Every structure is written in C-alpha cells, then in structure tokens.
Amino acid sequence: MALKGTLKDFGIADILQLIGQQGKTGTLHLKASHQEVHIHFREGAIIRAESSTRNKKDLIGTMLVRAELITEGQLQQALETQKRTLQRLGDVLVDMRAISAEKFKQLVQLQTTETLFKLFTWKTGSYGFEQTDVEADPSFVPLRAESVLMEGFRMVDEWPVVKKKITSYEMTFERLKELPPAPPQANEFDAALDDAFEEKKEVSKGEFQSVGEQERKVYGFATPGRTVRQLIDLSCLGEFDTCKALCNLVNLEYLRGVPGTGKGMELDRDDTFLERAFAVLGRVVVALLMAGAVGFLAVKADLGGLKLGSASASTYSDPAAQRFISRQQMTRIESALALYRLEKGELPEKLEALVDVGLLSLDDLRYPWRDGYFYRRNEAGSFVLLPPLR
C-alpha cells in the first residue's frame, strides 16, 4: 500500500481530499469492525464504490424491489439468468425489459453515493490506498472527490435541523392540503437566456424552493400509512434528501407527521458525532476554498495588494480577488438562509435575522466588501442575493 493508517490519525475527508487533489488512480480500502468498503479512483475521480459486507437490503436487486421498480419474481428470474450467462444484473434486467437502462443507472448512482456518505459516520477503522489500474462501471457517472466532500458537509450541517421534524423511520404522514401547480417549463429562449447569465442566476437563487422537484416527488408517494423508511425506498432520492423534502413539506404545512413506534433516527447521527464530523468537514472545505483562492490569486491577482493583517472589506485591493471570495461567501449566506427556512418555515425579511439566530456574524454580511449584500425575499418563496454595486 502506498498510503495506509487509521481513521483516528487521518479521517475519511482528509483521505478523499488528498487522493482527489493529487489526481490518483487506484483503490482505497476501508475497514471498520464488520464493514469493508472499496472506493475506486481514476485521476482523482470516484468511478466505483463497493461494500463487501453490504446488507441484503442494500443490494441493488433488493433496492429495485423495495422501490417497486421490479417485482421479486423478476429479480429471481434475472439472478438465475445471471448465474448461467455471467452477465451484469443490470444488463439482464434491461434485456428482460423489466427496467430501463437509465433507471437502473440512476439506482446504481444512488447506491454508490449512499455508500460514500455513510463513510462519514465511521468513527474508527483503517484505510489503505493501492495505486493500480481500475475498471470503470459503465452504469456510474464519475464523482469528483471535492463534490462528495461538499455534499457530506451540507448533510452533516443540516441533519440536526431535519431530525427535529422527521424523528423516526417509522413515522407516517397525513396530507393537509394539495400542492400548488408546478411552474411552467422554461422555453428554449428562456433557457438560452439563463445560460447567458448563468453566474447571475447561480448567486440569486436559494438552495431550497418552497416546493421544489424533490418535494413534489416525495409528496406523491406520501400516502397514509407509508413510513419514512418506505418513502426513502420509493423516492430513490436517498435518505437525506427524502427526509429533507419531508421536513420542508411539514414546515410548509402540506403534510403532518404522525409519530411512529419504531426507533428514531439516532443511528449513526448522534449530536456528539455530528459536531465532530462538522468540525472535520469544515476544515476540509475551508482548505479546499483557500487552495482554490491561492491558486487563482497566484495567476490573476497582485499578491502585494492584499493586506492580510486585517479581515475588513477594504483589505482586498484586487477586484478579481473580491469577486472570487464573494462567491464563496454568498454560498455560505445561501446555506444560512436554507437553514433558517428549515428552522422557521420561511425566509427572513432581512439578512440581519441570520445574525440574530446565530447563523452568521455581522461581518459575514459585508465580507469582502465595504457595503452589504443586496437581498430581497420574493413572494414565491425564493430570494435574490447579489453582491453590492461597485
């Protein structure tokens, strides 16, 4: 092994960051108690993740049955064919016309990402990275290690808020009112216009919509008697995104939660661990952003113009540096707005409300500018967030 050790000395986030930044090709072997996961990389991107100790309920065939995409009979028939022909299970199911190739690809992607995100709950274990040729899975779209880290950071950050509303896997729901009609699809001209102003669009929209696509999908499955666990299986969105959509629907009073009698969501999500994971992932994300900023400034900015002794908005004399850092800061503000909405059920009227509840400081609402960010809450439940006019 070219790289090995224990997770107490070098965490999952640090390992993924190192392999991703160095663009390595090979396999990362992870072991913890009775669990074993193998992550395959090609030039720093994750192309496959396997669990040699995966529970039966997490096998791709069982996931397809639980999602009601195929029947148990179709699965058994496909497994028998697979034994005779040694074909991939997905190819057999597609040839049987039991499922489309695109839908199977979606479930493979979901299975892999769920395996990856569960790694962030590992408290102990060992790792070893082996540089070797790896075979890509045609059913999986490669993932950048950085994107996995950012998503893991978001999930760890928001899980405590979601847990306040979605308290048990056995929880069920009652519909209180119907969803509003879906907004009309944008025409080709609008799409082209959006592409032309992609950067502006990105910074002016929130992470959450009042009723987004995921909320509509989960609402459609949330019939009386269906548990959170069943909704996770049926929606094919993953555990976190399904629970987050349910939390939004409860906050917006489209659904009412009915407490279940099963175990709560404390499994691998205790507050003490979340605090530790948040701290580790926070350092990783900051490191990624700082590395990107330094690389950008080295090429584009005059480093001599940066007065690093002060954190005020006036310390940055290079406009390019200010714009770059501002985009990262706006992402942080958008995340704070999303958390505020989850907690309060609506967006704040002013950004200062984020300071009042402890999500941001006053300096965050101006950094790296002298003036504050422009913010406006829309009636449709979205918002506009822009840097100050210069």
Mean pLDDT for 386-390 is 72
pLDDT tens sequence across 224-238: 999 999 999 999 999
Query: Same domain, yes or no, for 38 and 134?
Result: yes
Mean pLDDT for 54-69 is 83
Contact predicate 59/103, CB 8 Å: no
Q: Note the pLDDT of residue 226.
A: 94
Q: Is residue 264 part of a domain?
A: no
Q: How many CA atoms are closer than 13 Å to the CA of 354, on its beta-carbon side?
A: 22
The residue whose two tokens read 């990783």 is: 284
Query: pTM of the full predicted structure?
Result: 0.61
Q: Note the pLDDT of residue 9.
A: 76
- Split into its structural domains, the chain has a count of 3
Query: Same domain, yes or no, for 126 and 215?
Result: no
Q: Is residue 279 part of a domain?
A: no
Mean pLDDT for 283-309 is 41
pLDDT tens sequence across 5-16: 888 877 788 888
The residue range of the domain holding 50 is: 3-152
Q: Note the pLDDT of residue 187.
A: 55
Mean pLDDT for 141-159 is 83
Query: Same domain, yes or no, for 91 and 184?
Result: no
Query: Same domain, yes or no, for 133 and 217?
Result: no
Q: How confident is the model at residue 33 (pLDDT cuts 50, 70, 90)?
A: confident
The tokens of 128 are what?
């070893």
pLDDT tens sequence across 171-226: 999 999 999 887 776 554 555 545 444 443 333 333 444 688 999 999 999 999 99
The whole-chain average pLDDT of the chain stands at 78
Q: What is the DSSP code (8-state) at residue 208? A: -
pLDDT tens sequence across 87-142: 988 899 999 999 999 999 989 889 888 888 888 778 789 999 999 888 877 777 88
Contact predicate 67/107, CB 8 Å: yes
Query: Same domain, yes or no, for 226 and 325?
Result: no
